[in-house]
């Protein structure tokens, strides 16, 4: 039979016992809905966790340091190793930065600017860590739910406060937005011998050949926002920064940083402008590993929290699998409904099957007819199931957000129904329905036409 | 008059059933030749094996032994799929209880064999109309079988049987559910089809007078055996 005729006859048959077939389809829909709701929850939670992790910058960032400058590992053994190496370690300079920027899957490369300093607000001193935030962090999710705004420009003299720090400044944190504070910091000024070099570089290298002097400076910043989370911006430094300023603004300050003295002592190739370290952001955590290897092959030390990201992915794979299995239980029950409906249909349409065979229908025609009926029930059940599953996910998200709002927390997307989930849920429903139709279809195909025609 | 070209040749055809420990010989060693364009009536009492024989010729059942040569092909050896094609292309069937599909209109019922034979969509409408014209039912095109009388339903069944232009028409008690006048009109219609389309007709009946009036030849069965064949006295009656 032609496909059009087959489909037409199958739809007729389905319409004939509309109530029973609709109930069977509803059973499939409920099964698919439970599967979709479970998996959408798994996907949603995974996205939520990934988002939070990417906000923290922990898993998509590689910290690059020169080989002779591995933070915290400058013990005697290390120095011996360096002494053994015939090749001088490569400097982390502007050229290296451009080279790293050209590597595949690199979003951006920026130096970490982070220093401990004093802030004056209404003439009272407060100690805190200041960090320069790259412009890209605006869209990374780190500033979701910000009170106020992100920096108006990458070079603005503006500050965003972390909520805990804001609370130290004022009990009414909202009123802080728009006010000024004074940032007092120690500016490095290169000694006359290499002052030219230092002046041409705005992004703070670790000083010139002869060392540097430190001069106290003050910068007035306008508070533009208050943020709940602590955008960690990599994992260097000492503790999370609580006062955030634009990275380029931070760079121009040439504020003395914690490693400066050590770098000066170690670095003898003084004439070059070098960075103490660079943060390299990859497009996704899964791309960090090849990126780290590529950077290492360039002659630098690279460090990332790769293993934690891997075990997180493993955890979610297992989590999704379990949710999928639980979600599939309802669908398994629904398939029994399909088997039951089609077996009933064989009994009811026994004579009709006999007539079809007498008129020239082959066994395969009858089999296909039942298959199409099962497939249509699966397809419709799949579509409605995805819709119901999505609605359940929305309801769960809504309920959770109502609760979170009462707790004064930011709303979250608890469930997520991506395209692959929609398509695979429908495909799975059809597949399962066809499998359920296997037995009834072959039973119908094997009916003896003489017996079937005699059946009243 | 029937020509000498055989439509069906049965050679020592048997169909045995096993019921518990006893073997039932529904058709027992039957040899019969049906000429092309012949109208043969199979007569016999209930359980004589005439319907079983008809089902064997229709390819709905398979013989235990012997051969059924239909237009040169032994259908006893055909595969299930080839047998379905044979039923679709060579055979048209009419039943005592019509076996129309109640949820379909007349047009759709008649179209059904064309769907199974995968006839082009463009040709279907004309062929359905032609078949319904032959049974004089074009005015009931969109009706459902339940809206028709018994005679009309049987005419629809005949239209359905001839729509695919089969060479052989098999009728299993076509007048069994009809009053005598309607039964006669149905047999008149079958004769007309035999005459105009050149169809070979094998009809199972136990109404001997009707068979004698309309068939070319009578074959009498009893206990699964072919007891006798004789030319009908059609001319004398007419």
pLDDT at A83 over 60: no
Chain A residues within 8 A of B177 when measuring between CB atoms: none
Quote the ipTM score.
Answer: 0.92
Q: Are A244 and A159 in contact (CB under 8 A)?
A: yes
Domain with B70 in it: 1-90+167-178+200-238
Q: Which domain holds residue A387?
A: 3-53+312-454
In terms of average pLDDT, the best of A52-56, A209-213, B64-68 is B64-68
Is residue A256 within 8 Å of residue A213, measured between CB atoms?
Answer: no
DSSP secondary structure letter of residue A126: E
Rounded to 10 degrees, what is the CA torsion of B130, B134, B140, B145?
-100
Best of A358, A452, A456 to disrupt the B interface by mutation (most B CBs within 10 Å)? A358
Task: Please give the tally of structural domains in chain B.
Answer: 1
d(CA B121, CA A170): 82
pLDDT score of B178 more than 90: no
Provide the CATH number for the domain around residue A94: 3.30.70
Domains identified in chain A, total number: 3
Closest CA to A263 of A36, A68, A6, A19: A68
What DSSP line would sit under B136-174, residue for residue? T-GGGTT--GGGS-HHHHHHHHHHHHHTT--SEEEEEST
Q: What are phi and psi of B178, to 5 degrees?
A: -120, 155
Specify whether A203 is located in the same domain as A182.
yes
Same domain, A227 and A329: no
C-alpha B89/C-alpha B98 separation (Å) is: 20
Query: Confidence class of residue B85 from pLDDT cuts 50, 70 and 90?
Result: very high
Å between A448 CA and nearest CA of chain B: 8
pTM, full prediction: 0.66
Q: Are residues A160 and A226 in the same domain?
A: yes
Q: Which of A2, A352, A449 sits opposite B101 (nearest CB)?
A: A352
- Do the beta carbons of residue A6 and residue A370 sit within 8 Å? no
Predicted local confidence at residue B180, as pLDDT: 85
pLDDT digit string, tens, across residues A300-349: 888 887 666 667 778 878 888 888 888 788 788 888 888 888 888 888 88
Give pLDDT, residue A262. Answer: 57
- Whether the pLDDT of residue B29 is over 50: the answer is yes
Provide, as residue numbers in chain A, all residues whose Cβ is less than 8 Å from the Cβ of B88: 359-361
DSSP states along A398-435: HHHHHHHHHTT----------HHHHHHHHHHHHHHHHH
Task: Check whether residue A223 and residue A291 sit in a common domain.
Answer: no
d(Cα B104, Cα B118) in Å, to the nearest integer? 19
In this structure, are residues A57 and A231 in contact, taking their beta carbons and an 8 Å threshold? yes
On whether both A150 and A286 belong to a single domain, the answer is no
Report yes or no: A94 at the B interface, CB cutoff 8 Å. Answer: no
Model confidence over A434-444: pLDDT tens digits?
Answer: 988 888 999 99
- A87 in reach of chain B (CB within 8 A): no
Strands (E), A228-283: 243-246, 278-282
Residue B189 lies in a domain: no
In a domain, B55, yes or no: yes
Task: Indicate yes or no: CB of A360 within 8 angstroms of CB of B93.
Answer: no
Chain B nearest CA to A355, separation (Å): 7
What contacts 24+ positions apart, CB below 8 Å, involve A313-321? A313/A286, A316/A42, A316/A45, A316/A46, A316/A49, A319/A42, A319/A45, A319/A46, A320/A39, A320/A42, A320/A43, A320/A46
CATH code at position B9: 3.40.50.300
Residues A283 and A432 in one domain: no
């Amino acid at each position: 039979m032609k496909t059009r005729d087959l489909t037409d006859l199958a739809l007729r048959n389905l319409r004939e016992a509309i109530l029973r077939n609709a109930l069977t389809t509803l059973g499939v829909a409920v099964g698919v809905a439970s599967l979709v709701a479970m998996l959408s929850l798994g996907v949603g939670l995974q996205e939520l966790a990934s988002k939070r992790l990417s906000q923290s910058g922990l898993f998509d960032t590689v910290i690059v340091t020169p080989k002779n400058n591995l933070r915290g590992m400058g013990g005697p053994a290390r120095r011996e190793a360096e002494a053994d190496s015939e090749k001088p370690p490569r400097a982390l300079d502007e050229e290296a930065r451009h080279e790293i920027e050209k590597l595949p899957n690199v979003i951006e490369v920026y130096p970490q600017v982070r220093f401990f300093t004093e802030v004056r607000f209404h003439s009272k001193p407060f100690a805190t860590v200041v960090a320069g935030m790259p412009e890209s962090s605006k869209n990374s999710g780190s500033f979701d739910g910000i009170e106020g705004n992100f920096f108006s420009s990458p070079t603005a003299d503006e500050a965003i406060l972390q909520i805990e720090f804001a609370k130290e400044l004022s009990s009414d944190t909202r009123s802080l937005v728009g006010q000024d504070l004074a940032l007092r910091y120690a500016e490095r000024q290169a000694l006359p011998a290499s002052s030219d070099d230092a002046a041409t570089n705005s992004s703070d290298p670790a000083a010139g050949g002869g060392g540097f002097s430190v001069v106290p400076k003050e910068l007035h910043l306008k508070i533009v926002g208050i943020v709940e989370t602590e955008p960690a911006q990599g994992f260097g430094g000492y503790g999370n920064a609580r006062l955030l300023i634009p990275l380029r603004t931070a760079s121009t300050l040439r504020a003395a940083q914690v490693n400066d003295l050590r770098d000066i002592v170690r670095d003898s190739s003084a004439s070059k402008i070098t960075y103490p370290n660079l943060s390299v952001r990859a497009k996704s955590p899964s791309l960090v590993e090849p990126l780290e290897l590529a950077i290492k092959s360039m002659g630098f030390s690279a460090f990332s929290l790769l293993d934690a990201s891997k075990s997180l992915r493993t955890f979610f794979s297992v989590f999704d699998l379990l949710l999928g299995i639980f979600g599939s239980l309802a669908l398994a029950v629904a398939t029994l409904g399909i088997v039951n409906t089609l077996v009933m249909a064989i009994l009811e349409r026994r004579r009709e099957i006999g007539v079809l065979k007498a008129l020239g229908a082959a066994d395969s025609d009858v089999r296909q007819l039942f298959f199409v009926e099962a497939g249509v029930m699966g397809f419709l059940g799949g579509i409605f199931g995805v819709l119901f599953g999505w609605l359940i996910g929305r309801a769960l998200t809504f309920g959770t957000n109502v609760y979170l709002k009462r707790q004064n927390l930011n709303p979250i997307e608890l469930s997520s129904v991506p395209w692959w989930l929609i398509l695979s849920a429908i495909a799975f429903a059809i597949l399962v329905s066809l499998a359920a139709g296997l037995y009834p279809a072959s039973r119908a195909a094997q009916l003896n036409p003489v017996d079937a025609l005699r059946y009243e | 008059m029937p020509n000498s070209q055989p439509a069906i040749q049965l050679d020592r055809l048997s169909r045995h059933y096993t019921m518990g420990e006893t073997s039932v010989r529904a058709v027992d060693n039957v040899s019969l030749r049906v000429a092309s364009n012949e109208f043969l009536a199979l007569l016999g009492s209930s359980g004589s094996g005439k319907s079983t024989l008809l089902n064997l010729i229709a390819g709905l059942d398979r013989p235990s032994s012997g051969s059924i040569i239909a237009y040169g092909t032994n259908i006893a050896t055909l595969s299930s799929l080839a047998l379905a094609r044979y039923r679709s292309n060579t055979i048209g069937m009419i039943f005592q209880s019509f076996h129309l599909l109640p949820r379909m209109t007349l047009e759709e019922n008649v179209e059904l064999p064309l769907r199974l034979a995968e006839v082009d969509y463009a040709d279907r409408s004309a062929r359905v109309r032609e078949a319904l014209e032959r049974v004089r039912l074009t005015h009931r095109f969109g009706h459902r079988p339940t809206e028709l009388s018994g005679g009309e339903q049987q005419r629809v069944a005949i239209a359905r049987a001839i729509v695919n232009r089969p060479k052989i028409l098999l009728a299993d008690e076509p007048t069994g559910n009809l009053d005598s006048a309607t039964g006669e009109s149905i047999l008149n219609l079958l004769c007309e089809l035999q005459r105009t389309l050149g169809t070979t007709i094998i009809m199972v009946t136990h109404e001997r007078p009707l068979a004698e009036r309309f068939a070319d030849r009578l074959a009498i069965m009893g206990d699964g055996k072919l007891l006798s064949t004789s030319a009908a006295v059609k001319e004398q009656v007419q």
